[in-house]
């Protein structure tokens, strides 16, 4: 038997399970027929503060109570709020004052209560009733009360200032000033709201008791769980007041469980009563738990309320308000609004992926990812992402540089220029234009999802190449080319003696091998680059690869010359483009030996861009050199570039360029072009006889084409097979009125179609074609902002283009309804525009 200590009082009053310290002290004092203050004075605590002691005991208070009552110090601590300090309540370590709680506005100074519990325990108060997350009694299935139904005040537990011992279970609120008169209402008889046994409110309290109040108090997961639920509760309570008519059924269910009355809403804050906490927490739990049946419906309601409060330019800022709701809820929110986000935001948050995330990676993390990424996306991955109709090689470099930049944007807070700077890219706007042009009319979802997932894969997989180091080490001044070995290669295979331009091409290609991207920052590769790679022979390719390896070794870099992330990093079976695995290298090699790039691509069902990327990613080379036309008399070096026979024939006979124009392209004299035409056996177009041009057309015809149809002299000259200067000469000679500064040619003039007055006025404005191509796609979109996202243009572009067209024609062409719809006049204009654009595309060379 345990010995009774000498200082321990002989009467034993143990605390009940879950009781608060001040409630136990009051019960002890009542047993001794004294007040709590007298009891504590007797124990040796001359200045007792029960309201402070129930928060945290000082060392002396704990020692005195343990010595005199026989309650162990550890058990005394469980009667205070100290175990929840830092997670549910905030207690100042010096003066024990209560700070702003992490959730709700119930500070713990007062207590809620369950009348049935007070009746059963004969007026003993539970400590958990002081916590802001306690709003229901799971034992009796009722909503806790905050106030005394008689006096309307929050009932205090201790009887501080009272001259008589307290009575169990009565309201001790003061009923006057200067005298210690108490309310005295029997709180056990207070009416309360009975909650359904299987209802959402009781389920929420059970969940809170298990995950927040019953878990390890100082665990970070407890604080995180409470913060997420509280953020969602606040959002649901505010939305409840502003969007109740559109609320889903689950909202009505929770309201009915709590009496069918809307909770009070304090301006800019949530209420601090059990009614608010019960409704807010029950609905927050439905949103937080994806397994709840009404989860999707309730989340959609909250998002719709957000949309009503947003403007077209503030939507992404509103999304930041969801971050406190936790990563799981934020991920579901981002997935739900994916179609409304701009292209850069979709990549930033990975909203089109299975696991969107609101993250903000550190600078060190992004620099590490940049070291794994070349300035241009790897060719094989570009093949997979490039739409099948993306056949414009001139846009390819800009597309690849933008895709690589987007890898830096994923998971970061960087804008596009800053992300591009990590890779040494500039001209971010021009590169983005190339990507937008390629994606025009295509769904960007596969691209944005793939890039976001590829960025995450780069973070989790090691890579054998440090591209950041290569960008710092290798440039045109540091790359070494073994000229003796190159000249020996040329001699052995009978190649022409290398000239300055040929050496420049070789060095450029060598540097691109080392960097994994084209040298420089241009959004468009040199014109000769694709032809050079297409004609690259196996022995020359091996030589370049060997030279690249030698440069790496010279700088002490033990890395492979080139590398690409394997396709199995991403489990995708269908790509928007053409994967390299779908192309037969043998077929490409055989066709490249005898066909031009465009012919080879057409034969294989590829775009020229895909063919160029395939050659770069696989290193496929032609089987043998294409047959050369015999050199002309006195010439031993075959013509190259624009003066090569096949290229020259296309420029002169197919595209009908003048010799002066070809000379400008080839950077040579007109006499050189004339000689090259003779060597290639291309017959010259006969010169016009004197005054033949004047005799072949009339003044009226030229005036109609130039002045009324608004055709440029260059367009007229191409039709007549002459130079534009000759057309200008006739305009001056015949004294045809000349259009002044700001003149714009009519792009539809060559179609020989009669334009309506409205269309004619549009056709004579600058950049009318891109403006019309955008505007005709607007009907059917939810609003102009959604159309801008679909078309991939910057905010405000479409609105400005639409306003320009309407001001030009003088009437409204599009109703700003939801969805957008054309006016009767606008429908006629759109029909004409679609017909003209189709004719123009059909007649384009």
**Cβ partners under 8 Å of residue 803, min gap 6:** none
Task: Answer whether 218's CB lies under 8 Å from 224's CB.
Answer: no
Eight-state DSSP code of residue 145: B
The mean pLDDT value for 227-248 works out to: 89
The model's confidence at residue 272, banded by pLDDT at 50, 70 and 90, is: confident
The pLDDT value given to residue 630:
42
The winner for highest mean pLDDT among 136-150, 167-181, 437-451, 654-668 is 136-150
Residue 13 has pLDDT above 80, yes or no: yes
Tens-place pLDDT, residues 750-796? 666 778 888 878 877 777 778 888 888 888 887 887 777 777 677 78
- For residue 606, the surrounding DSSP H or E stretch is none
Residue 741 has pLDDT above 60, yes or no: no
Show the CA angle centred on residue 489, arms to residues 486 and 490, nearest 5°: 90
Give the Cβ contact number of residue 165 at 10 Å.
17
Residue 647 has pLDDT above 60, yes or no: yes
What DSSP assignment string belongs to 637-669?
A: S---GGGSHHHHHIIIIIS---HHHHHHHHTS-
The pLDDT value given to residue 749:
67
**Cβ partners under 8 Å of residue 126, min gap 6:** 18, 19, 20, 23, 113, 114, 117
- For residue 259, the surrounding DSSP H or E stretch is none
Tell which wins on pLDDT, 313 or 620: 620
Q: Is the peptide bond before 597 cis (omega within 30 degrees of 0)?
A: no
The model's confidence at residue 536, banded by pLDDT at 50, 70 and 90, is: confident
Task: Answer whether 390's CB lies under 8 Å from 608's CB.
Answer: no
Give the percent of the chain with pLDDT over 90: 29
The pLDDT value given to residue 715:
63
The mean pLDDT value for 6-27 works out to: 88
C-alpha–C-alpha distance, residues 308 and 303, integer Å:
9
Half-sphere exposure of 521 (CA within 13 A, CB side): 14
Residue 186, φ and ψ in degrees, nearest 5 = -75, 100
Residue 264 has pLDDT above 80, yes or no: no
The pLDDT value given to residue 732:
66
C-alpha–C-alpha distance, residues 112 and 21, integer Å:
15
Residue 842 has pLDDT above 80, yes or no: no
Length of the chain: 845
The pLDDT value given to residue 372:
95
Q: Which of 262-276, 456-470, 797-811 has the lowest mean pLDDT?
A: 262-276
Give the percent of the chain with pLDDT over 70: 84
The winner for highest mean pLDDT among 199-203, 572-576, 719-723, 801-805 is 199-203
CATH of domain 757-843: 1.10.10.10
Tell which wins on pLDDT, 631 or 9: 9
The mean pLDDT value for 293-304 works out to: 90
Task: Answer whether 828's CB lies under 8 Å from 814's CB.
Answer: no
Q: Where are the domains of the chain?
A: 21-189, 200-332, 341-463, 472-554, 630-685, 692-745, 757-843
Residue 707, φ and ψ in degrees, nearest 5 = -85, -35
The pLDDT value given to residue 801:
86
The pLDDT value given to residue 624:
60
Does the reported pTM lie above 0.85? no
Tell which wins on pLDDT, 367 or 801: 367
Task: Answer whether 744's CB lies under 8 Å from 766's CB.
Answer: yes
Residue 514 has pLDDT above 50, yes or no: yes
Q: Which of 201-210, 310-319, 453-462 has the lowest mean pLDDT?
A: 310-319
Burial class of residue 148 (count of CB atoms within 10 Å of its CB; 0-12, 13-18, 19+): buried
C-alpha–C-alpha distance, residues 29 and 770, integer Å:
87
Task: Answer whether 224's CB lies under 8 Å from 86's CB.
Answer: no
The pLDDT value given to residue 548:
94
C-alpha–C-alpha distance, residues 652 and 643, integer Å:
10
Q: Quote the tokens at residue 552.
A: 């790496």
Show the CA angle centred on residue 332, arms to residues 330 and 336, nearest 5°: 115
The model's confidence at residue 593, banded by pLDDT at 50, 70 and 90, is: confident
Radius of gyration of the chain (CA): 40
The winner for highest mean pLDDT among 252-261, 271-280, 496-505 is 252-261
The pLDDT value given to residue 165:
61
Tell which wins on pLDDT, 500 or 283: 283
Residue 690 has pLDDT above 70, yes or no: no
The model's confidence at residue 637, banded by pLDDT at 50, 70 and 90, is: low
Please choose, from the candidates 70, 90, 57, 74, the residue with its C-alpha nearest in 3D space to the C-alpha of residue 7.
70
C-alpha–C-alpha distance, residues 422 and 346, integer Å:
20
3-state secondary structure at position 614:
helix
Provide the mean pLDDT of the chain. 83
Burial class of residue 481 (count of CB atoms within 10 Å of its CB; 0-12, 13-18, 19+): middle
Residue 2 has pLDDT above 50, yes or no: no
The pLDDT value given to residue 283:
94
- For residue 775, the surrounding DSSP H or E stretch is helix 768-775
The model's confidence at residue 326, banded by pLDDT at 50, 70 and 90, is: confident
The mean pLDDT value for 32-42 works out to: 86
| Category of 210 on φ-ψ map: left (φ > 0), alpha (ψ -120 to 50) or beta | alpha
Tens-place pLDDT, residues 93-135? 888 888 877 778 766 667 899 999 999 999 999 999 988 889 9
The mean pLDDT value for 195-201 works out to: 94
C-alpha–C-alpha distance, residues 458 and 569, integer Å:
9
Half-sphere exposure of 587 (CA within 13 A, CB side): 15
Task: Answer whether 383's CB lies under 8 Å from 612's CB.
Answer: no
Q: Quote the tokens at residue 352.
A: 């089109």
The model's confidence at residue 664, banded by pLDDT at 50, 70 and 90, is: low
The pLDDT value given to residue 632:
44
The pLDDT value given to residue 777:
84
**Cβ partners under 8 Å of residue 111, min gap 6:** 20, 125, 129, 130, 154, 155, 157
C-alpha–C-alpha distance, residues 584 and 389, integer Å:
20
Residue 636 has pLDDT above 90, yes or no: no
Burial code of 599-634, b = ≥16 C-beta within 10 A, e = fewer?
ebbbebebbbbbbbbbbbbbebbbeeeeeeeeeeee
The pLDDT value given to residue 214:
75
Task: Answer whether 287's CB lies under 8 Å from 221's CB.
Answer: no
Tens-place pLDDT, residues 411-438? 999 999 999 999 999 888 888 888 888 8
The pLDDT value given to residue 316:
47
Q: Which of 573-582, 640-649, 725-734 has the lowest mean pLDDT?
A: 725-734
């Amino acid at each position: 038997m345990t010995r009774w200590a000498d200082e321990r009082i002989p009467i034993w009053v143990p605390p009940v399970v879950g009781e608060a310290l001040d409630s136990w002290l009051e019960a002890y004092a009542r047993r001794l027929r004294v007040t709590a203050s007298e009891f504590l004075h007797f124990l040796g605590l001359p200045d007792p503060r029960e309201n402070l002691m129930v928060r945290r005991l000082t060392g002396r208070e704990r020692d005195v109570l343990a010595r005199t009552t026989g309650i162990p110090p550890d058990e005394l601590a469980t009667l205070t709020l100290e175990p929840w300090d830092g997670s549910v309540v905030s207690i100042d370590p010096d003066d024990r004052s209560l700070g702003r709680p992490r959730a709700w506005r119930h500070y713990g100074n007062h207590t809620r209560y369950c009348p049935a519990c007070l009746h059963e325990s004969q007026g003993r108060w539970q400590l958990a009733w002081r916590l802001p997350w306690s709003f229901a009694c799971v034992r009796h299935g009722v909503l806790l009360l905050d106030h005394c139904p008689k006096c309307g005040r929050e009932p205090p537990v201790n009887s501080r200032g009272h001259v008589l011992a307290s009575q169990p279970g009565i309201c001790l609120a003061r009923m006057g000033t200067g005298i210690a008169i108490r309310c005295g209402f029997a709180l056990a008889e207070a009416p309360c709201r009975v909650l359904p046994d299987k209802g959402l409110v009781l389920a929420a309290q059970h969940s809170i008791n298990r995950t927040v109040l019953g878990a390890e108090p100082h665990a970070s997961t407890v604080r995180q769980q409470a913060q997420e639920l509280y953020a969602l509760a606040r959002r649901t309570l505010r939305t409840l007041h502003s969007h109740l008519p559109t609320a889903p059924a689950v909202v009505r269910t929770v309201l009915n469980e709590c009496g069918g009355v809307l909770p009070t809403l304090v301006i800019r804050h949530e209420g601090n009563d059990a009614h608010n906490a019960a409704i807010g927490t029950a609905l927050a739990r439905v949103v937080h738990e994806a397994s709840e049946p009404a989860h999707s419906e309730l989340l959609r309601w909250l998002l719709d309320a957000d949309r009503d409060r947003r403007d077209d330019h503030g939507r992404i800022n509103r999304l930041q308000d969801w971050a406190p709701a936790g990563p799981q809820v934020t991920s579901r929110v981002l997935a739900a609004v994916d179609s409304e986000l701009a292209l850069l935001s979709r990549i930033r948050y990975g909203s089109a992926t299975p696991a969107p995330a609101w993250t903000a990676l550190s600078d060190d993390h992004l620099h590490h990812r940049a070291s794994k990424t070349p300035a241009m996306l790897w060719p094989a991955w570009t093949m997979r992402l490039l739409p099948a109709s993306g056949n414009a090689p001139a846009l390819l470099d800009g597309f690849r540089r933008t895709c690589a930049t987007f890898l830096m944007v994923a998971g970061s807070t960087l804008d596009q220029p800053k992300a591009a700077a990590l890779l040494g890219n500039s001209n971010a706007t021009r590169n983005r234009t190339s990507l937008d042009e390629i994606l025009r009319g295509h769904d960007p979802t596969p691209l944005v999802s793939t890039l976001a997932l590829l960025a995450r894969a780069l973070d989790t997989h090691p890579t054998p190449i440090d591209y950041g180091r290569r960008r710092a080490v290798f440039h045109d001044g540091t790359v070494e080319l073994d000229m003796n070995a190159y000249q020996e290669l040329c001699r052995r295979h009978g190649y022409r003696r290398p000239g300055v331009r040929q050496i420049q091409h070789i060095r450029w290609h060598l540097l691109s091998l080392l960097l994994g991207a084209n040298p420089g920052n241009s959004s468009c590769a040199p014109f000769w680059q694709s032809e050079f790679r297409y004609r690259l022979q196996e022995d020359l390719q091996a030589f370049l690869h060997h030279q690249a390896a030698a440069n790496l070794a010279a700088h002490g870099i033990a890395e492979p010359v080139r590398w690409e992330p394997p396709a199995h990093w991403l489990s995708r079976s269908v790509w928007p483009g053409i994967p390299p695995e779908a192309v037969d290298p043998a077929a490409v090699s055989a066709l490249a030996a005898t066909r031009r790039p465009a012919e080879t691509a057409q034969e294989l069902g590829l775009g020229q861009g895909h063919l160029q990327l395939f050659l770069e990613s696989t290193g496929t080379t032609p089987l043998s050199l294409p047959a050369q036309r015999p050199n002309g008399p006195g010439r031993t070096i075959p013509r190259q570039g624009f003066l090569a026979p096949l290229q020259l024939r296309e420029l002169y006979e197919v595209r009908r360029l003048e010799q002066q124009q070809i000379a400008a392209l080839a950077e040579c004299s007109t006499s050189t072009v004339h000689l090259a035409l003779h060597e290639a056996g291309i017959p010259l177009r006969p010169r016009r006889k004197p005054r033949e041009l004047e005799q072949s057309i009339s003044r009226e015809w030229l005036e109609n084409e130039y002045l009324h149809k608004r055709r440029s002299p260059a367009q007229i000259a191409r039709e007549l097979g002459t130079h534009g200067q000759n057309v200008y000469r006739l305009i001056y000679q015949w004294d045809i009125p000349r259009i002044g500064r700001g003149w714009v040619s009519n792009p539809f003039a060559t179609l020989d179609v009669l334009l309506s007055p409205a269309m004619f006025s549009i056709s004579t404005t600058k950049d009318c074609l891109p403006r019309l191509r955008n505007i005709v796609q607007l009907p059917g979109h939810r609003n102009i902002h959604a159309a801008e996202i679909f078309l991939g243009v910057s905010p405000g572009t479409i609105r400005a283009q639409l306003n320009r067209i309407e001001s030009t024609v003088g009437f409204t062409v599009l109703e700003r309804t939801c969805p957008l719809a054309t006016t009767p006049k606008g429908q006629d204009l759109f029909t004409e525009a679609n017909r003209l654009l189709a004719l123009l595309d059909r007649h384009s060379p």
